[in-house]
Structure 1
């Protein structure tokens, strides 16, 4: 049973007008010390039961949650001094109080509260064990959370209320609810800005085994109550639609004729850069020359007549080559090393096309569903769910393309049969400039503003062609300045 520290209890009950308002958010370390002072009377009878002490020290070494304190202070104040408070609960308390704290729900009343969720209430009912973060949910929202649901900044709380509205707490689903509560509190307190919850932190913060955490998370995902946002790398509450999207996707795929050409078309739309400039060359000659990025499968590269089929509508092409398997990878390397056309640069990845084929098929199916406005209107929240899935699938595929666009070591670059060392965009653009100097050494610099525009009238076009032909064919012809003037005039 908790023996109340009468000195602290008396101080809490004094007239609040004697004190200045103090924002704990600006100095959380002060609250941690106050909490340690309040709980120190528990140490003799409960510290011996702190079996989680070693785990707590390990977690707090790995995750720097209390950067206001040094390592020694963290162990003394947080792990040992504030037991039975779980360190994650102590981490959340000042942040939650800053958002939801009211006169009757403050950091200090929490410590002495005998109400549900209060620390004194917890200690009075339990002789061992830790006060876990999800228990704070019962303290801050003991009566009702309705007063906060109209506030758009508490979106996760609103989602929690919706998805748990008809759930009755049982031994079987308590682990599920505990996870939903801690994930909700983590979002509401903006704790994700400090560290994102993962399986290890959820295990430590709920007292569940790692196997139980993973099983419960999987159950919640299957029930569409929870989803892992791969873009942000964090767990989020999810109010999914009633439709089984996977079944809808399978039906959509059966109607679509998906082939590698369509897959490559979808893949190309996700490129961050569609071309690379000959920067040095362009700056010197006041012109824009570039090489356009295209995608190839190994089958397309190895086809007979590949080079003859290329229709140049750019100064050159950079081909990202994706092999089908290990054998075609070796053949692709050999093929690119034998091509001598200076207008072509090749980049070959060792990651096989099949590694993203399913994701591309999923993307194509999702895009087809998303374009069907009639279907979206027939199912509540389907539009939102498809949009989320589209963003995640695109993110997954972009990770594949990042190997090319961030010049990773597994990409081999070739030009005119030579292996290139390309570790940065600048190196690639320098090479393109080198190629342009070789191909177009006598490009004239045009400074006339009436010519440097996208659209010219007929007379201007004819005149500029004549002038440029004369300059290129006879660059040192005496008196050509006068001819240029006559033609443009």
Structure 2
């Protein structure tokens, strides 16, 4: 038997009979060969592409096709091939006979292998050179003209060469040139001979200036005259495409398209290209137009060639080369049949084929090793090429003749030691090699590494490893124990298989125990961990939800040893899975919940004994804590991964027990509202019960078809829409008409929540029955509780019978109480809240604020008259505003008045009482209203006028007081002159007064630095006192006077310095003392004078 040739070179192997000896026929390859032959010989599909992965046999198929096409139809090779086809697929025998035995045309092969360069030159040159080698001479279309040009150049530029040329001729030069112009083949061949002789053996090659397709057409015509055709086989065509420069892509693809189109039209040409992927992949990252690429691709018939593992299995024994014959016992064959069936090896083969081709035929290669070879070769080698190379060289690979197991394939695919340290997949092997493990342990690492590389689905357990390695189960178990100790192997409880991993240097068990001793683990932590492992965290009452167009659900939680009735934290209810560590606790709890109604919707009491796995839960909690310990994780790079594995394992073990809670077993006990229920047998039955319960508990829930608002939480944009809508409704001027346009969230909310519910703030009888009931309950509550908490109003909608989702509650409360909203006063911690906005209402609900209260009142006719008068007088409208709104506006009006007007008591008694009433309204608007009822309309008008005109009035009074204090009279000039000499401030005021300038404003600015509008009564008194001091300073004999000329510009009274004064004096003294050393005494004195002058 011939040894398998590991690779094919189209150019050198084409036509060899040995190709058929190494060919193992299979249906896929035979179909492709037949399709290509039929296209070239009998149809207009003469351009073909063979696509397939490395080693799949593409080159072999191309070489076989070319050889069959060009071989003699009566040759032994052709006849033997047809016989082989008959053995594999008898139905194809007649097809090949019709194709190969009836063709009359002579076909010549043109083989090209992965060359680079200009496509047109590559094709033309390959055709002319290879036809020349096969004894066929082709005259290129411009060859004769170029020959004549050479003769002319010799004549003009190289006379000696021309003389030698003419000496070789047997006829006149003119006659020779005339024959050339007629493209006489004999003359052209004679010139080529002369050219070689004159140029030291150089071959004449014409330059292809004629368009590419014209040259191809010229070649085709010349071959047709010779009754011949050519088949161009371009192997590694993909490599050529990758070498095409980006700026030459368009030209090259056009040439390929033109060639394919011409070949398809011709009757003596064929084109076969061989690539690893389709043309699309080669030009995916280029600028070549996608539509143009599609046009090129459509010119070729594409044939996909894939590796066929079944063919390999059937043919492997034929290729396997061993140096020994083996005797195989019946017991071994029977055991192998059992193992092959157990691990589902070779499902493509019949039992007879498994025994003949695998168990006996491939011995001593282990069956599992044979089954893995195609996948390993596909990933690590070159598919079939590597497979057959392994079989052909097996006697060298395993010269001992012993059984060849899976782990030994590791050395075959990774023979290079350098590779072992470069490939990521081999990290486990590298680590294992450093530990000096036993041979069996190393074999396990090698075997599992190979299984990982091919993504094997085998469950790797002790029995499987024993079979794969040919070791006893005891030997395998000892090796597994060793690998687990070195943290290279672990058992994955999810997949129930052993897997390689790299553990940390940290002893997790010890660290876990130490942390457990130092960390108190509460029942709440255990309950949270158990709840998180539930498969189903919610159950839904589907029938109820469909009818009400909303999503209600109950939350599932786990509780350990619950001792008292629990409070539900879910909007719609909770299902509590109650676990107990002993029987007595369980019985006591059942007795308790049977004796009194529970706030929990549903209890399920299981027979699971929590005491059995409580330690497991604690380990899980501690491991979760360790996984969050950054300092611990930093101690070892592999610790995080190992902890994650441990956490998953613990969680899986817990989950196996907890899953029993939701399996609806007959042993479970169910309780609701103090009554035991028949056990639920399925989730559907439970959900039907929940629907009935929801109809009972939330009978009057309005149907609101707005999915966004039928949730516990809504996006911020929806919340803003609700706030905007509610603010609009709460406006006094709102008459039920929404001005919202478009189809945004505001519009959708108003349409679904209000308009479709029949909402009309002027006629509440149009409301749907459900909202009628909600409004009725709200009105009943405020009548029975005229003073209460706003949150209590919200709880009506959230609670039993309604169960309305929180985002809708403030909106509906405000909308349904619109007609009573104006009769309510609001307080926060006892202080009146004039403007309770929609934002406030949503905050009250979301933050469960209890300090906000309401109070409902009824206005009598006198109240209404007073409110109307006030609104008309102060704001020029005759709309009846409610007290809190009106007083809020009055407070704003008062605060816009000057500060002096607001604070002074230098006003009439009525004005002061009016201001006090407004301030009282911040605490109690109703009491403030009662106080203002004592005012007549005239009195109110007078008070308003007095307050608004107070500043001009008080300024006149201040001016009179200042004139009197300073003595600013015309007949008091002598006293004024004396005062002016003693006081510069006084002198300036008198000067302004005499010049009829604003002396009062100057005196106010200089003495108190505050405008009259911002005064208080204290400021007023301070101003008058200071004026008197200016006047009286002229009578102080002990004052220190600073005189410039005959004018006293300033006076200083001697006094005891304060602590701060002493500090400043010491600092100034030091500065003068230090700096004065370089200054004259007069300069120092002048500096002090300037400072004093500026004060």
TM-score for the superposition, normalised by structure 1: 0.80
In 1: Cα distance, 2:382 partner to 2:654 partner: 46
Q: CA deviation at 1:283?
A: 1.6
Match of 1:439 among 694, 697, 703: 697
In 2: Cα distance, 1:16 partner to 1:408 partner: 70
Distance 1:27 1:472, change over 3 A: same
2:609 match: secondary structure: coil
Matched, 1:134 2:407: yes
* 1:478 matched residue in structure 2: none
The answer on whether the counterparts of 1:336 and 1:346 sit within 8 Å (CA) in structure 2 is no
Match of 2:369 among 89, 94, 102: 89
Q: CA deviation at 1:132?
A: 0.8
* 1:34 matched residue in structure 2: 315
* 2:685 matched residue in structure 1: 427
The answer on whether the counterparts of 1:319 and 1:345 sit within 8 Å (CA) in structure 2 is yes
Distance 1:253 1:316, change over 3 A: same
Distance 1:410 1:211, change over 3 A: farther
* 1:177 matched residue in structure 2: 442
The answer on whether the counterparts of 2:328 and 2:360 sit within 8 Å (CA) in structure 1 is no
Match of 1:418 among 674, 677, 682: 677
Deviation digits for residues 276-298 of structure 1, max 9, x if unmatched?
2222101211233221212122x
2:434 match: secondary structure: coil
Distance 1:165 1:174, change over 3 A: closer
Matched, 1:222 2:503: no
Q: CA deviation at 1:244?
A: 1.1
In 2: Cα distance, 1:356 partner to 1:165 partner: 39
Q: CA deviation at 1:205?
A: 0.5
* 1:22 matched residue in structure 2: 56
* 1:238-387 alignment, distance < 5 Å: 238-297=501-560, 299-300=561-562, 303=563, 306-307=564-565, 309-311=566-568, 313-325=570-582, 344-387=601-644
* 2:1073 matched residue in structure 1: none
* 2:434 matched residue in structure 1: 166
In 1: Cα distance, 2:368 partner to 2:354 partner: 12
Distance 1:13 1:487, change over 3 A: closer
The answer on whether the counterparts of 2:580 and 2:609 sit within 8 Å (CA) in structure 1 is yes
Deviation digits for residues 161-184 of structure 1, max 9, x if unmatched?
2x1242446xxx011111111111
Q: Highest Rg: 1 or 2?
A: 2
Matched, 1:236 2:499: yes
* 1:70 matched residue in structure 2: 350
The gaps in structure 1 that reach 5 residues or longer are: 1-6, 476-483
Distance 1:65 1:407, change over 3 A: farther
Q: CA deviation at 1:73?
A: 2.6
Distance 1:451 1:359, change over 3 A: closer
Q: Considering only aligned residues, what root-mean-square deviation do their CA atoms show, in Å? A: 3.7
Which one is further off, 273-282 or 399-408?
399-408
Distance 1:333 1:160, change over 3 A: farther
Which one is further off, 451-460 or 351-360?
451-460
The answer on whether the counterparts of 2:669 and 2:677 sit within 8 Å (CA) in structure 1 is no
Q: CA deviation at 1:365?
A: 1.3
In 2: Cα distance, 1:76 partner to 1:410 partner: 56
In 2: Cα distance, 1:92 partner to 1:282 partner: 54
* 1:108 matched residue in structure 2: 388
In 2: Cα distance, 1:314 partner to 1:485 partner: 23
The answer on whether the counterparts of 1:112 and 1:120 sit within 8 Å (CA) in structure 2 is no
The answer on whether the counterparts of 1:157 and 1:188 sit within 8 Å (CA) in structure 2 is no
In 1: Cα distance, 2:503 partner to 2:366 partner: 32
Distance 1:444 1:82, change over 3 A: same
In 1: Cα distance, 2:403 partner to 2:366 partner: 6
Distance 1:58 1:411, change over 3 A: farther
* 1:190 matched residue in structure 2: 455
The answer on whether the counterparts of 1:279 and 1:433 sit within 8 Å (CA) in structure 2 is yes
Distance 1:401 1:460, change over 3 A: farther
Matched, 1:390 2:647: yes
The answer on whether the counterparts of 1:47 and 1:80 sit within 8 Å (CA) in structure 2 is no
In 2: Cα distance, 1:486 partner to 1:251 partner: 61
In 2: Cα distance, 1:214 partner to 1:104 partner: 36
